[in-house]
Chain A
Amino acid sequence: QLQLQESGPGLTKPSETLSLTCNGSGGSITKSSYYWGWIRQPPGKGLENIGSVYYSGTTYYNPSLKNRVIISTDTSKNQFSLQLRSVTAADTAVYYCAMSTIGYYALDIWGQGITVTVSS
């Protein structure tokens, strides 16, 4: 059964770029998949969609983050990635990768999340 796992630094300095990778195991992330996405949850707050990349290669980003975000896939490595530029303390959150195999707009496979703190 396909599982996802986030990896990357748990601490990033303000103004730097946050880079996270989501690795698939137990199967191919391209099998029966519609799209791959990143979602975050700041402390004490709800989930926030960061953006997604569809099987076609088209990307969609949260308008509030659009100018700072890049989501990409590397199917040869069975992974997809997130880059968030110019981070501030407001970007401190648990970051989740997720994918959809059940429909275009429902995320049915999730990673367990990675805590990222932005601090000097």
Chain B
Amino acid sequence: QSALTQPASVSGSPGQSITISCTGTISDIGGYNYVSWYQKHPGKGPKLVIYDVTHRPSGISNRFSASKSGNTASLTISGLQAEDEADYHCSSYTTTGTLVFGGGTRLTVL
């Protein structure tokens, strides 16, 4: 069960948009519509921002959106704000019945 592949870091200026990719295989991302994205600030537990590929939990800003194409999922954050600076982790359901996570992407707001 290999980890999903994410870029180590991305950056953007306030007000801009950024996109984080998450690449897996047909055994995880490509095979199921169960991709989630988590925001993690230092010293805190992860926070779910997207589930089931495109859905936002209650209370999550509509600046967060996501999609999937083939074996790759993407998270887009528009109108970047300083508070968005965090690590972002993707996850997917897999054929083994478990979840697999990506290595995480550090978002820096310049």
Residues of A within 8 A of B (CB): 37, 39, 45-49, 51-52, 60-64, 96, 98, 102-108, 110-113
Contact = CB atoms under 8 A, between A and B. Distances in A.
B30 interface: no
B46 interface: yes
A47 B6 CA distance: 12
A103 B52 contact: yes
A46 B48 CA distance: 16
B36 interface: yes
- Contact residues of B: prevailing secondary structure: loop
B3 A106 contact: no
A102 B101 contact: no
Contacts, number: 80
B101 A110 contact: no
A106 to B, nearest CB: 3
Interface in B1-53: 1, 3, 6, 32, 34, 36, 38, 43-48, 51-52
B45 A62 contact: no
B43 to A, nearest CB: 8
Contacts of B3: 46, 48
Contacts of B57: 102, 108
Nearest to B92: A105
Nearest to B101: A47
Contacts of B62: none
B98 interface: yes
B48 A107 contact: yes
B88 to A, nearest CB: 10
B86 interface: no
